[in-house]
Amino acid sequence: MTPLLSATNLQRSYGTLPVLRGINLTIAAGEIVSIVGASGAGKSTLLHILGTLDRPDAGDVSLAGQNVFMLNEKQLARFRNEKIGFVFQFNNLLPEFTALENVCLPGFIAGKPEREVRERAQLLLETLGLPDRSGHFPSQMSGGEQQRTAVARALINQPAVVFADEPSGNLDSHNAEELHKLFFRLRDDFGQTFIIVTHNEMLADLADRKVVIRDGLIE
């Protein structure tokens, strides 16, 4: 079976400091993979390259059948918007927009019909347990609600994969556990693929597969 994502011999240095020293990784559709390792091991660098936010010094990434670094910047931005969702430690919601409007934004950027985007955004908010929060601004929501809104935004364009960088790092233990359960429910209900960088041992151990990075290499 062709993997959804494959990375081959990824290398990345910052100045004279090698951060990734030849990473090889394949991920299947519908898989939840956690990436763990000490601070500075290269976890976030790897996530940013897999998510096309950064380019490697050497190596290739293929996602959904596309060698992503063969694309120019404009093509890559479009591919990223349509095929990839992101959830970060800090939710990055725009404070001047409501929850519904925040969720809609990637759909509008992709040029999809407004009614279709709004209906899907409302459905996602309901699915994620926020049916009565669509008209609320981020400042009117709890941290857990904000992060679930960010997850809905990541899902609006039905991405091939969602990358999450310390998604529960800013949440208390209860909200962190609820977010973790949500990822698995989305995988079970919709076949969603997640790649998650985390220091949370419980989340890392729940994943289908735990990838440990040490000194820029996968153990």
Q: 33-73: per-residue pLDDT in tens?
A: 999 888 877 888 898 999 888 899 999 999 988 899 888 98
Write down the residue that tokens 């990838």 correspond to: 211
Q: What is the pTM of this model?
A: 0.88
* CATH architecture of the domain with residue range 5-218: 3-Layer(aba) Sandwich (3.40)
Amino acid at 43: K
Distance set, CA 207 to CA 36, 45, 63, 125, 193 (Å): 11, 20, 20, 24, 11
Annotated domain spans of the chain? 5-218
For tokens 């919709």, the residue is 190
Concatenated DSSP letters of 99-134:
HHHHHHHHHHHTT--HHHHHHHHHHHHHHTT-TT-T
Average pLDDT score over residue span 101-129 = 90
Rounded-to-10 torsion of CA 177, 178, 183, 189: 140
Rounded to an integer, the average pLDDT of 80-100 is 87
Instruction: Specify the pLDDT at position 80.
Output: 87
Question: Considering only CA atoms, which of 212, 215, 186 is closest in space to residue 36?
Answer: 212
Burial class for 173, CB neighbours closer than 10 Å (0-12, 13-18, 19+):
exposed
Kindly state the tokens that stand for 98. 């409501």
